Chains A and B, each alone.
Chain A
Amino acid sequence: MYRYDEFDARIVKERVDQFRGQVDRRLSGEILEDEFKPLRLQNGVYLQLHAYMLRVAIPYGQLSSRQLRRLAVVARDYDRGYGHFTTRQNIQFNWVGLKDIPDILESLAEVEMHAIQTSGNCIRNVTSDHFAGAAADELMDPRPWCEIIRQWSTFHPEFAFLPRKFKIAVTAAEHDRAAIRVHDIGLHIREKDGVTGFEVLVGGGQGRTPHIAALVNDFVPETEILDYLEAIMRVYNRHGRRDNKYKARIKILVAELGHEAFTRQVNEEYAAQRSHEKIDLPEDEIERVNAYFAPPEFADKPAVSKGFERARAADPAFARWAEANLHPHKVPGYASVTISLKPVGGVPGDATDAQMMVAAHLAETYAFDDIRVTHAQNLVLAHVALDDLYDVYRELDAAGLATPNESRITDMIVCPGLDYCNLANARSIPVGQAIQEVFKDPDYEADIGKLHINISGCINACGHHHVGHIGVLGVDKKGEEFYQITLGGRADEKAVVGDIAGPGLKADDVPGAVKRIVDTYRDLRTSSEERFIDALERIGHEPFKEAIYAAD
């Protein structure tokens, strides 16, 4: 993984000093809260319902065990013993004191971490495929490009006060696990005539007005990508709406101008760049960053592990976990392991300091010191030998981290909702827990197979309900919480916004309605091989909508 050189280290250190000064000036009253707000926001500090919240950047979801241990220490010493992994592959601490934040940031800087641009109207943490460098279906490892973009976007002087926040995602695999089509910019790494480049999609997003990103350029060569991104950003910075924050995302600019006019403006701006305006990313720099992501020294192993097969045959719980939580690896004899942070009845994405320590220990012992955070709010050990899986599993299980549900119905994306967030209209975590309760029988859940339920507590859609196979949106009607169900959304390479199924339901009716949707699927599927989302596409939404309202 990437390591800071002297320049990176210095910039992050200087950021800590700068923020310490800003906090001092705020605490002394020299600057007003209103002026402090964008400063703290560009450093990941929010004022939440109950306290300050600190969001720490985990660039493209990549962590070393040393870093994860440090996060555990922050959770233990400054928070209430846990942290919350987010859909942007970051981590949030919900109960920190403002005066402690400079010390926390200093401690994080020691392990090459920061909170730069994790909020505010600027370019946010670049996200990526959580199986990057391990997945059998990727063209190449996208992480070097995420790192190059991270550096380019850090303190970019022109784009620090955009109309609204800005999110970039990068993938290099045909199966899109980074949800690039619902990002402000989605980049898909391609190869053309031996040259690496990017397919560029712009204007995706969720929130109040969900949009799927439009193709703006089918191939921008790698040495030109930063210049091309600058052209997009400049068009957005100059012409994005600033009169209404709900219309300020780039998706609205793309929609209002129209795909063609927007693309033309970007290409004109790009063509107008004079040679001295170009970033001219040096080939040497691309090579330098790539070198940090060289594959680890995998052992030469057979594709089948006798130990793994034996353990699977002997321990049904392990077999069930292995069935759900492993992902094929490009190297024979290895797998990628999902550590589920979605136990039934838990808070999705939460991990205690002790659990973080366990994951860090496992990464160090068995997984080349490499941990990922997924946008579905789980952790991943990207490279584990099949021979070691049973040992890994037993340690995970002892720490309450072996829920066998990756991409299954209880593996939900759920926003914090009314319990934590001052934007929310409705609770989301308790609704998610009530749905989990219905599907907690592991055999039942296994039979249902892959199915994404996403829950948001308001139309800002932090729980990604628009792109859940089943989406649940909490709304407030005259002081009472109601939940709208959407069907058929997805965030992958076939990204589409789900359809609203009909009138909202009361919280108590949601689990039953979801169960009827699922049982309708089980009745109508061609076989258990046909996934829920494929059955929905084949059959249409009608029978499922009927099922929602078919309460006895």
Chain B
Amino acid sequence: MSDQHEAPPSVRGMGGLFRELGRKLAAGEAGALLVLLMVGAIWTFFQSQNARFLSPGNLTNLMLQQAAVATISIGVVLILLLGEIDLSVGAASGFCASAMAVLMVTHGVSPLISVLAALALGAAIGLFNGFMVTRFRIPSFVVTLAVSLTLVGLQLYVLGDTGTLNLADNFVTALTGTFFTPLIGWALGILVIAASLAFALIGRSRRHAAGLRVGGIGGLIFRTALIAVAVASSIFVFNADRGLPLVVCIVLLLAVGFAYLTERTRFGRHIFAVGGNAEAARRAGVKIDHVRIIVFVLGSTLAAAGGILAASRLMAVNQSSGGSDLLLMAIAGPVIAGTSLFGGRGSVWSALLGALVIGSIANGMDLLSLSSAVKYIVTGGVLIVAVTIESVTRMRRHRTVIE
């Protein structure tokens, strides 16, 4: 160990913490925090316009609405990390949900089998996308655009003349219709806080035991406090309405699972490598085409899962399921929350944060009864601003390298 690798004084106080935060904000590294500030601004604005915006009922509805988008966005993040794009996730969610409904309602197949079939269908769509992109080197936006059109057609076909299928009460509608009692909500919340603290402490002690540099204890306390406040206030708000929704737990579990996949496993590392420099990854022995195909499969499967959640929330599927602005929201969300469109940079958490931002704007505008025209213009404008910020920080990063 040379002196260069020695740990800095472990406690630098809150002043150092805030200086570090300011530096990271300027360098575009504290994306999550910036987005949370954005959410705060959006919420303040809409609350000032309509006092119902921050009511427990509306906030719970916001979460229920955005569960499907967030799920689809997790898949979109994986694909964006590769430096690819999947324009078929919206149509895939609609088609897979429609297929599930047809199996369940028209053919009387059991709900569980129908859900699994829908997910398998999603996987097959992703397999096709990935195969076309890797085998024939067709740009992913072309392949997935064509697939998207095809899926819209298939959706209209399987839904038949009526065009709408209502779901009976069963475990599919229960996905978004189940709320935990306040006690269970608090128990789960405390579990989440304890687990995040435990994992952080274990990781910290392992690094310490290995003689590696560990961050200041102040940062750990700050992070845990932030998580604790966020979790506790969420549970409080949910309990003031119908309780902690099951679907929120499902989406969080998916996010945690895919965050670990991308950040802690070899496969996840290879996703980032392919997105950062595919040729370098290839020369390092990464099977880049396998990585690409698997990621497309995961992306479409998550799209199918999102479609199922959307159908569960609507308690029906129809011809516009998966259509309209779903695709735009699912891709715009992660980009607004800091996942790069150019590959190799981003995080699964940006899917949730992005869904929160976009959902808050849409929900707030609905409360203000704004017209569709205004809603599209505002959402598009937000996206353009977000992409511009991303590109500017990217250029700044390049400049510092050259200097």
A binds B: no
Residues of B within 8 A of A (CB): none
Residues of A within 8 A of B (CB): none
